[in-house]
Amino acid sequence: MSKMNRNKLMIGGFIVLTAIIVVVIIAVTSTMKQDTFKNVINLNEISNVKVNGNVNKKWLITKEGVLYCATTKEINIIDINTKKTLKTIGLQNKISNFNVVNNNEYVYFVINDNELVKIYFKTLEHNLFEYERDSLINQNVFLYKDKLVMTGYKMYLKVLDLTKNEITSNKVDFFRVSKIYNDILYCWGEGNSIYAYDIKTLKLTWKYVESTSRTSPGIGFGNNSVYFNNTYTTHILNSKTGKKIKSYNLHAQDIDLVDDKMFTVIWGESMSRVSQNNGEKIWTKAINRYGYFIDNDYLIANDYDDYRLRQFDINSGELIWEKAFINRLIDSFNRYKNYYVGKTFRGGIHVINSETGQELWRYKTYTSDDVSNYQIYQDKLIITDGTDEIKIFQLPE
Number of Cβ within a 10 Å radius of residue 397: 6
How much is the average pLDDT of 164-193?
76
What's the pTM value of the predicted model, to 2 decimals? 0.82
How much is the average pLDDT of 110-135?
86
Number of Cβ within a 10 Å radius of residue 58: 17
Q: Which of 229-233, 244-248, 365-369 has the lowest mean pLDDT?
A: 365-369
Question: Which residues are CB-contacts of 257 (< 8 A; sequence separation ≥ 6)?
Answer: 220, 221, 222, 227, 263, 276
How much is the average pLDDT of 43-70?
93
Check residue 292 and give its pLDDT.
Answer: 83
pLDDT band at 228 (very low <50, low <70, confident <90, very high): confident
Say if residue 25's pLDDT is above 70. no
Q: Which of 89-93, 183-187, 247-251, 329-333 has the lowest mean pLDDT?
A: 329-333
Say if residue 66's pLDDT is above 70. yes
The most confident of 33-47, 108-122, 166-180, 225-239, by mean pLDDT? 108-122
Q: Which of 10-19, 200-209, 223-232 has the lowest mean pLDDT?
A: 10-19
Check residue 372 and give its pLDDT.
Answer: 85
Check residue 354 and give its pLDDT.
Answer: 94
Question: Running DSSP on this structure, what letter comes out for residue 146?
Answer: T
Check residue 28 and give its pLDDT.
Answer: 40
Check residue 31 and give its pLDDT.
Answer: 40
Per residue in 250-272, pLDDT (tens digit) is 877 778 888 778 888 887 788 99
Say if residue 3's pLDDT is above 90. no
How much is the average pLDDT of 147-175?
75
Domains of the chain, residue spans: 133-216
CA proximity to 217, closest of 252, 182, 268:
252
**3-state DSSP assignment of residue 75:** strand
Amino acid at 182: N
Check residue 318 and give its pLDDT.
Answer: 96
pLDDT band at 176 (very low <50, low <70, confident <90, very high): low
Per residue in 296-348, pLDDT (tens digit) is 999 998 888 888 889 999 999 999 999 886 556 677 889 999 999 988 877 78
Q: Does domain 133-216 have CATH number 2.40.10.480?
A: yes
Answer for the pair 155, 173: CB distance below 8 angstroms, yes or no. yes
Say if residue 389's pLDDT is above 70. yes
Backbone dihedral angles phi then psi of residue 137, each to the nearest 5 degrees: -75, -15
Check residue 217 and give its pLDDT.
Answer: 60
The most confident of 124-128, 182-186, 231-235, by mean pLDDT? 124-128
Check residue 24 and give its pLDDT.
Answer: 44
Check residue 321 and give its pLDDT.
Answer: 96
Q: Which of 50-54, 80-84, 112-116 has the lowest mean pLDDT?
A: 112-116
Check residue 155 and give its pLDDT.
Answer: 63
